[in-house]
Amino acid sequence: MSWKLIQRAKKRLSEERGTIRKEWAARTSLCLAFPNRYYTGMSNLGFQSLYRQLNQLEDIVCERVFLPDREELPEYRKTDTALFSLESQRPLYDFDILAFSIPFENDYLNILTLLEMGKIPLLRTARNETHPLVIAGGVAVFLNPEPLSDFFHVFLVGEGEELLPEFLRCFQQAKSEGNTRRKFLEKAAAIEGAYVPQFYQVRYLNEGPIKSFTPKGNNPSRIKRRWVRDLNHIHTASTLFTPHTEFNDMALVEVNRGCSRRCRFCAGCFIYRPFRNRSLEVLIKDIQEGLTRERRIGLVGSAVSDHPHLRGICQSVLDLRGTLSIASLRVDSISADLIRYLKAGGHKTISLAPEAGSERLRRVINKDLQEEDLLRAVETIVKTGIPNIRLYFIIGLPTEKAQDIDEIVGLTRRIKHIFLKVGRDRKRLGRITLSISPFVPKPSTPFQWVPYEEINSLKRKLKLIKNELRGEGNVHVIHDLPKWGYIQTLLSRGDRRVGKILLGAHYNDGNWRKTFKEINLNPDFYVYRERELDEILPWDFIDHGIDRDYLRKEYLEALSEAKE
């Protein structure tokens, strides 16, 4: 094992506050893995919260591992060092359980890198009783775990705070009884929310869509998602503090979970149902605790501005002499009072999400937003003294037309006009940033049947927007690459066969083009093909509490909105 790598890990630990160290003794050892680098993983509040929750269990020792930084890789190779945990520097193969937290599909290749560097066989069928149990949770896999089914023993479908303690008790009991792994997996499969892919058989129609998805033995035909009924009973706030993270001067606090708005493109609106707020009293307690560590509080949630006591939350932070950050606001939540709170809290940019340039397309995606309300909100923001605005747009949405792209440009210009009118009066001109992403259809949404738009078409739309706005001062356009949206769509909507593509891309060092040529499986089948409404989809076995007929109805309603 490399002395240099161990010293680097110890230095990183020395710069942390809040690290939890426990003796292994007779405890069950679990390594919590984030399939990206330390900087990214430590910016993830869910990952931190699980770390704290698991270590609160007396008979569990939970440590962390991340994808090594690029400059570390040559040392790993030169010394043949197995990837090890951060806290105790023990190799991954020493742990009882290796648990991945996976929020993004584009990190899937990193999972295989972590396993390989940890000297753990990539395929679950190649592992034996001496290898760790490899499990996964996180939003990406409880949307659709199937592309990863060759690599994991168990997927935990739903919110980890609710499911993990029961799963770990089952593991410990099986271990104390001397059960084989097979016997344990049989018991685990009976836990609501635990999906053991080896106990399910998939058949296909002539190498095309799925013909059948059937459980073996007495296993359930559907896996029911687990969720936390009362967020006040769990602690979701920053546990670890380090300068090596995106939020290095901030304590994060989760305000709510889910969303009540039902935008048809958004998975979070559907799989995190029902929408849940934490109480003002609990939030103030977490804010007080956070301010003992950092003087800036970051409010986290997919619908922070929908909390009924948002202004009280903001006032509490300021009363405690803290500063404040909120990632994004709903247009209908904007008021002069709220913006003054944010300005006093140190905000210099407000993020809004029109998603589409035209009101027609916003109706299609069920985004309840009128342009006049957006322009009024922008005027309020600029008048109140926050100089910069970030606008989130999606291109390639279902039924999108050339006029909808033109409307993104037109809307941006109308917003800039407000900047010029109000900003010049007050002798300050800020920046308008457009953040543009290609639409990626997600499972368990009304748009789960639609195809991804062709890459060259998306490139043309991006080029048009950038060219039209190039001469506009104080307007900056940033965007995701359409080719990565293609990969994300492949991984988010693929079936078990996509695991072969993943494995090939891993061995080809992430060269997707080369892999597509080598693997006898057409990725366009998963990306560009419109699904039949009665087709068996790879994720249909997951029960998110959403009726498929409801999603179909919403999809057809969206198409009817497009004609109006």
Cα-Cα-Cα-Cα dihedral sign, residues 282, 279, 257, 395: negative
SS3 for 355? strand
Looking at the structure, do residues 282 and 146 belong to the same domain, yes or no?
no
- Placement of tokens 């962390």 in the chain: 64
User: 427, 423, 450, 430: which is closest to 439 by C-alpha?
Assistant: 450
Looking at the structure, do residues 132 and 21 belong to the same domain, yes or no?
yes
Looking at the structure, do residues 208 and 330 belong to the same domain, yes or no?
no
Q: Are 135 and 54 in contact (CB under 8 A)?
A: no
Q: In what order do the strands lie in the sheet with 323-326?
A: 251-254, 296-300, 323-326
Terminal alpha carbon distance of the chain: 66
pLDDT (tens, 9 = 90+) of the chain, 564 residues, equals 899 999 999 999 999 999 999 999 889 999 999 999 999 999 999 999 999 999 999 999 999 999 999 999 999 999 999 999 999 999 999 999 999 999 999 999 999 999 999 999 999 999 999 999 999 999 999 999 999 999 999 999 999 999 999 999 999 999 999 999 999 999 999 999 999 999 999 999 988 999 999 999 999 999 999 999 999 999 899 999 999 998 888 999 999 999 988 999 999 999 999 999 999 999 999 999 999 999 999 999 989 999 999 999 999 999 999 999 998 889 999 999 999 988 888 888 999 999 999 999 999 999 989 999 999 999 999 999 898 999 999 999 999 999 999 999 999 999 999 988 886 655 567 899 999 999 999 999 999 999 999 999 999 999 999 999 998 888 999 999 999 999 999 999 999 999 999 999 999 999 999 999 999 999 999 999 999 999 999 999 999 999 999 999 999 999 988 776
Looking at the structure, do residues 255 and 143 belong to the same domain, yes or no?
no
pLDDT of res. 425: 59
Helix intervals (H) in 94-159: 108-117, 139-143
Looking at the structure, do residues 288 and 148 belong to the same domain, yes or no?
no
SS3 for 145? coil
Answer with the one of 224, 247, 277 that is the final residue of a domain: 224
The Cα angle at residue 447 between residues 481 and 492, in degrees rounded to 5: 55
Looking at the structure, do residues 258 and 184 belong to the same domain, yes or no?
no
CA distances from 204 to 221, 497, 519, 550 (A): 17, 10, 18, 26
Give 546's DSSP letter. -
Task: Report the C-alpha gap between 144 and 85 in whole angstroms.
Answer: 28
Answer with the one of 224, 250, 273 that is the final residue of a domain: 224
Q: What is the pTM of this model?
A: 0.95
Task: Report the C-alpha gap between 435 and 452 in whole angstroms.
Answer: 19
Looking at the structure, do residues 242 and 209 belong to the same domain, yes or no?
no
Give 520's DSSP letter. S
Task: Report the C-alpha gap between 453 and 528 in whole angstroms.
Answer: 7
> Based on the structure, what is the number of domains in the chain?
2
Task: Give me the CATH number covering residue 348.
Answer: 3.80.30.20
Q: Tell me which residue range forms the domain holding 550.
A: 233-563
What backbone torsions phi and psi does residue 270 show, to the nearest 5 degrees?
Answer: -105, -40
Q: Are 133 and 181 in contact (CB under 8 A)?
A: yes
**What is the Cα gyration radius of the chain?**
24
Task: Report the C-alpha gap between 371 and 358 in whole angstroms.
Answer: 8
Answer with the one of 157, 191, 224 that is the final residue of a domain: 224
Looking at the structure, do residues 145 and 264 belong to the same domain, yes or no?
no
Helix axes 455-469, 402-425, angle to 10 degrees: 30
Looking at the structure, do residues 177 and 263 belong to the same domain, yes or no?
no
pLDDT of res. 561: 83
- Placement of tokens 């048009």 in the chain: 464
Task: Report the C-alpha gap between 375 and 429 in whole angstroms.
Answer: 16
Q: Are 106 and 491 in contact (CB under 8 A)?
A: yes
Looking at the structure, do residues 242 and 188 belong to the same domain, yes or no?
no
Q: Going by DSSP bridges, is the β-strand pair 296-300/223-224 parallel, antiparallel, or unpaired?
A: unpaired
Looking at the structure, do residues 199 and 271 belong to the same domain, yes or no?
no
Task: Give me the CATH number covering residue 203.
Answer: 3.40.50.280
Q: Which amino acid is at 120?
A: I
Looking at the structure, do residues 159 and 252 belong to the same domain, yes or no?
no
Task: Report the C-alpha gap between 280 and 309 in whole angstroms.
Answer: 7
